[in-house]
Amino acid sequence: MSNSHDETTHTLMEGVVETIKTIVYALLIAGVFRTIFFQPFWIPSGSMKDTLLIGDFLFVNKMAYGYSQYSCPFSLCPIDGRIMGSEPKRGDVAVFRHPVNGQDFIKRVVGLPGDTVQMRSGQLFLNGSPVPQVPDGTFVETYERQGPIGNWPLCKEGNPGVGADCTKDKFVETLPNGVQHSILNVSDGRYDNTGVFTVPQGQYFFVGDNRDNSTDSRERPEFNGVGFVPYENLIGRADRVMFSSAGRSLFFVWTWRLDRFFEKIE
């Protein structure tokens, strides 16, 4: 009887050990995958509408720009500067570590090292030349709280009332390298007119596509903006939306945006 009990206990212990080993291996593999290849990112705000919507889930391609200390969780990679690096291209949608507050942001690269950047009456100027904008209709969404945070969208109508249409003017912007993307405009905002920024070497200028609702390089970090973003702060490029949910929770399946699954980010 004792031998049978000992064997059962031994078998149970072996099962527990194997389960723990499996979990540890899975976590290690997931950690390596997240560090080297792709990092998951959930869109929490409307600063990149309509390219990215609140509730879009995507994987950030870390191989696109190489690796820095920010490539590891908690910025623990023992890397000085950047290794295996590639320069971002104008128009890339990228995730970066905020130079001051340590949060991860996602915006569009518009200014490269050495560029001059300015906003005049809501139009982007690069190196003294206007970046073409062509009207592309109206972006319409429902005026309601959005995503887990419950933010209200900005609307041309101000506060149209819960459940009413919330509209923004939509344009297609064409950057000097030919990259085209949508931008939105609500009104004459505080960032529609700026001074001339000269992007330092080794740094980049980022702007959100939802121009009146984006915290980005148009404002300095000490004024709750972003300022110039150092090359080493880049985490990766966003290439494709994998999944999207318009609801307050991932489990509200009736709010899934099936038309956005696996959508290419442009």
Please say if 75 is a catalytic residue: no
Please say if 182 is a catalytic residue: no
Q: How many CB atoms lie within 10 A of CB 255?
A: 14
- Residue 161's φ and ψ, nearest 5 degrees, are 100, 140
Question: Catalytic residue among 45, 47, 71, 214, which?
Answer: 47
**Closest Cα to residue 78, out of 33, 35, 122?**
35
3-state helix, strand, coil in the chain (%, to 5): 20, 35, 45
- Residue 116's φ and ψ, nearest 5 degrees, are -105, 140
Question: Catalytic residue among 45, 49, 68, 107, which?
Answer: 107
Which residue bears the tokens 């073409």?
132
Q: Residue length, the chain?
A: 266
Asked whether the beta carbons of 146 and 152 are under 8 A apart, the reply is yes
Which residue bears the tokens 């059962």?
8
List active site positions: 47, 107
